[in-house]
Structure 1
Amino acid sequence: MDIEGIRSDFPILNDVIYMDSASTSLTPEPVLEAVLEYYREYNANVGRGVHRLSQIASTRYDDAHRKVARFIGARKEGLIFTKNSTEAINMVALGMGLRRGDRVVTTLLEHHSNLLPWMQLKKLGVDIGLISPEKDGLFNLSDFEYAIDDKTRVVAVTHASNVLGTISPIREISRICREKDVLLLVDGAQSTPHMRVNVRELDCDFFILSGHKMLGPTGTGVLWVKDPEAIEPLFYGGGMIEDVSTDACRLASGYERFEAGTPHIAGGIGLGRAVDYLEGVGMDALQEHEAQMTTRLLEGLLDIQGVEVYGSHDPKERIGVVSFNIEGLNPHDVALMLDDAAGIMVRSGHHCCIPLMKHLELKMGTVRASLYLYNTEEEIERLLEVVREIARTV
């Protein structure tokens, strides 16, 4: 992998060491150019015009759906562009028609975006079952066997934790769901940027990803649905129909039925270009690069007195998201120290996972370093060096 060539596409790296990609990744120059090209050269609406600019925009926007679908092993007809993964999960939670007596099973490992939409359904009388991970973030599959009963309609689980980095056994969870005739939603916001994902192999019914965590523009997300008839659209308006009368409407058969109104055209095209970029790098090479850095980061942090690392210590069981604390220090203070000392950007706090933090008894949350394709071994060593210096002062 040409790490120097990759880094040259991210000029912001000249001034900082960026280790907050689990929150939002940086955006490479080719993606920025794709967005600007839309506004400069063919700025028109999609699916609504026969003139040349509209045709170009419509083709590029449709191509972006095709690229992202191919990237996750899906067909573009079920690949819906959303404004983020939060909106995508809400579309499923509110579009399934769940009612009193139905049950949803999710976990304490979830980001609030895959927890709060389901919890709100309690107001309708929907029962919510919560599965707790072990302290290292790994699941006991028997807990899923026990939690999924004959009233369960859907299981919603993260593919990779945004706090602990641990990877969930989705295929095994899917097998349990199939045996019990239950739908499975997988939150792939953290996994898709870092590993090969194939929704057919995962055997899920809904798959979610976040564009801005995989080099795409902000305001981009994806909902993939195996069967578009499994949910009803939340939004109605232009561009989503085949016919309308004063009494009813006939919805479009493809992804358009869920994308009412003018979409984030430039964002969708930019996300397609981000997929081109990742495929150009190669997901296998990217994953190997991140695994090497994650291994070194884990080893280094575990060797520093006064530092506690959370999640599995086996790099094979996780992505490059590493949460830690320095004994006696508030994680926010540590994050500020890292920035002040070396321009190292990390996340601190609860990471939108307050129930998990309570489960782990981490009142103030953690410091989180999250790695991506543009990080280097030298940056890892610099982080470890500064953490050692901070730990010595306590």
Structure 2
Amino acid sequence: MNKNNSQPKDPMPLIPRLADGTPDWAALRGEFGATKSTAYLDIARKALLPRCAAQAAAEWFADIETKAAGRWAFSMDAVEVTRRAVGETFGAAPETLALVKNTSEAVNIVAQGFDWREGDNLVISVSEHENNTFPWRPLARRGVDIRIVPAGADGRVSTDALRDAIDARTRILSIAWVAYGLGERADVDALAQICRDRGVLFLVDGIQAIGVLNRRIDDLGAHVVASGGHKAQMSVAGAGLMYVAPEALDRFRPPFAAKYSFATFDRTDPDPHFAPDAHRFEYGNPNFLGLAVQRASARFIGAIGLDHIENRVHRLTDLMIAEADRIGLKLRTPRAWEQRAGIVSFDLGGADADRIEAALEADDIRVASKDGHLRAAAHFYNNEDDVLRLFDRLRHHLELAK
């Protein structure tokens, strides 16, 4: 570690607040330039980044261009500052966090590092994103049964169905906290208990929930939480996180090894021990620039408060549901807040979702076509006008499509 580096230039930001102490959402919206022209309701795909993220990137480059010549930009001390900031905001001790690139890297680490035996099985659901599906596929060549639990008549995969798929040879259950398409929220508490009772490793894909829901990731009961940072965490692609519960640290091994995988830097040690914490899952030089952005955005979100963010997203998505009802759209996402988060999915009644997405984009409204349906996803920088604008133009385009 470099112990004589200057400290980073991104202290905890000051957040504009109203007289009652709640965040001034209108002022915070001004931190996202695209909101001046675009109703960006697509946080479930990629993040709009706040100005502090751009400032962090600029300061990272400036550190390289000045007399410092990258002393802080390429410092491993700066990496540890990021680790602490991410842990403080999203709820995990720094030593339990590996700063990996994305969800799929974390899932692959578990998939390839687990001690599988022929005849073992793992359980996922049909609602999983590709990055919680494809990493498991190669295991079939090793005799591992990949059990994909189907959805019920309501389109959702129930806790009971997941429980019924687990048997004595199940080694891992890997489930999204919030599903990318339908937007339903898994009952992670119930699933964690099932896994504890049966000795199953529980992996949670947290990317659609972290940064929206006010819950510590080390409170989910999961052994592993995997997440890219480029959605509600407002990081960039290539700067994510992997939480590993202390009791799960030795349940799988790092499938790769590099300098920071071990407790020693002695290259002559013939049998070096792995690092005693989640550092063992980090390989080689990290994404220093991405981590600078990740650090700034985590502090920004932490200063706003996840409790305030969740309440804001709750209200905005309630308005989406009300507007969908008003224009006669069928809601696919559960209505109860405890069963969903920031994603709301609509059945367009036979209209081509890809064409509707393109037509809305031409109106400077960003949503997503997913699995033949339309998906909108709000974050705290959105406002009521964004939602009303979406449904006004959506009704217009659906009329034209008839």
Give the TM-score taking structure 1 as reference length.
0.88
Deviations 1:241-292 (A, max 9, x none): 3133374433332333222211101212221221111111111111111111
Deviations 1:25-57 (A, max 9, x none): 11111122112212212689xxxxxx9925982
Q: Which residue of 2 aligns with 1:366?
A: 373
- Compared CA separation, residues 160 and 137, structure 1 to 2 (3 A): farther
3-state secondary structure, aligned to 1:367? strand
Pick one of 245, 251, 261 that aligns with 1:230: 251
Residue 294 of structure 1: how far off its partner (Å): 0.6
Q: Which residue of 2 aligns with 1:133?
A: 151
- Compared CA separation, residues 79 and 338, structure 1 to 2 (3 A): same
Q: Which residue of 2 aligns with 1:304?
A: 327
Q: Which residue of 2 aligns with 1:354?
A: none
Corresponding letter in the other structure for 2:216 = N
Corresponding letter in the other structure for 1:18 = Y
Q: Which residue of 2 aligns with 1:36?
A: 58
3-state secondary structure, aligned to 1:230? coil
- Compared CA separation, residues 266 and 55, structure 1 to 2 (3 A): closer
Matched, 1:26 2:44: no
**Are the equivalent residues in 2 in contact too, given 1:137–1:166 (CA < 8 A)?**
no
Q: Which residue of 2 aligns with 1:221?
A: 240
CA distance in 2, matches of 1:158, 1:43: 42
Correspondences of 1:214-363 after superposition (within 5 Å): 214-226=233-245, 227-241=248-262, 242=264, 243-245=266-268, 247-305=270-328, 307-340=329-362, 342-350=363-371
Structure 1 unmatched runs, 5+:
45-50, 351-364
Deviations 1:90-127 (A, max 9, x none): 11111112231111011111111111112221111001
**Are the equivalent residues in 1 in contact too, given 2:181–2:370 (CA < 8 A)?**
no
Q: Which residue of 1 aligns with 2:4?
A: none
Corresponding letter in the other structure for 1:144 = L
CA distance in 1, matches of 2:101, 2:130: 16
**Are the equivalent residues in 2 in contact too, given 1:6–1:374 (CA < 8 A)?**
yes
**Are the equivalent residues in 2 in contact too, given 1:338–1:345 (CA < 8 A)?**
yes
Pick one of 182, 187, 194 that aligns with 1:176: 194
Q: Which residue of 2 aligns with 1:2?
A: 24
Equivalences, count: 372
Deviations 1:215-259 (A, max 9, x none): 112211111111332222232233333133374433332333222
Corresponding letter in the other structure for 1:38 = W
CA distance in 1, matches of 2:135, 2:92: 25
CA distance in 2, matches of 1:268, 1:98: 33
Residue 159 of structure 1: how far off its partner (Å): 0.4
Q: Which residue of 1 aligns with 2:34?
A: 12
CA distance in 2, matches of 1:237, 1:321: 38
Matched, 1:92 2:110: yes
3-state secondary structure, aligned to 2:204? strand
Matched, 1:106 2:129: no
Correspondences of 1:52-131 after superposition (within 5 Å): 53=71, 57-131=75-149
**Are the equivalent residues in 2 in contact too, given 1:43–1:57 (CA < 8 A)?**
no
- Larger deviation, residues 63-72 vs 85-94: 63-72
Residue 75 of structure 1: how far off its partner (Å): 1.7
- Larger deviation, residues 85-94 vs 63-72: 63-72
**Are the equivalent residues in 1 in contact too, given 2:125–2:157 (CA < 8 A)?**
no
CA distance in 2, matches of 1:18, 1:178: 40
**Are the equivalent residues in 1 in contact too, given 2:244–2:278 (CA < 8 A)?**
no
CA distance in 1, matches of 2:393, 2:177: 31
Matched, 1:391 2:398: yes
CA distance in 2, matches of 1:12, 1:383: 16
- Compared CA separation, residues 283 and 136, structure 1 to 2 (3 A): farther
Residue 210 of structure 1: how far off its partner (Å): 1.8
CA distance in 1, matches of 2:182, 2:261: 39
CA distance in 2, matches of 1:221, 1:148: 29
Residue 339 of structure 1: how far off its partner (Å): 1.7
Deviations 1:46-92 (A, max 9, x none): xxxxx992598222210111121233332212211111111111111
- Compared CA separation, residues 337 and 123, structure 1 to 2 (3 A): same
**Are the equivalent residues in 2 in contact too, given 1:103–1:152 (CA < 8 A)?**
yes
Structure 2 unmatched runs, 5+:
1-22
- Larger deviation, residues 226-235 vs 201-210: 226-235
**Are the equivalent residues in 2 in contact too, given 1:311–1:323 (CA < 8 A)?**
yes
Corresponding letter in the other structure for 1:294 = T
- Compared CA separation, residues 134 and 389, structure 1 to 2 (3 A): same
CA distance in 1, matches of 2:319, 2:338: 13
Give the TM-score taking structure 2 as reference length.
0.87
* Percent of pairs with identical residues: 26
- Larger deviation, residues 6-15 vs 245-254: 245-254
Q: What is the RMSD computed on CA atoms of the aligned residues? A: 2.2
**Are the equivalent residues in 2 in contact too, given 1:42–1:57 (CA < 8 A)?**
no
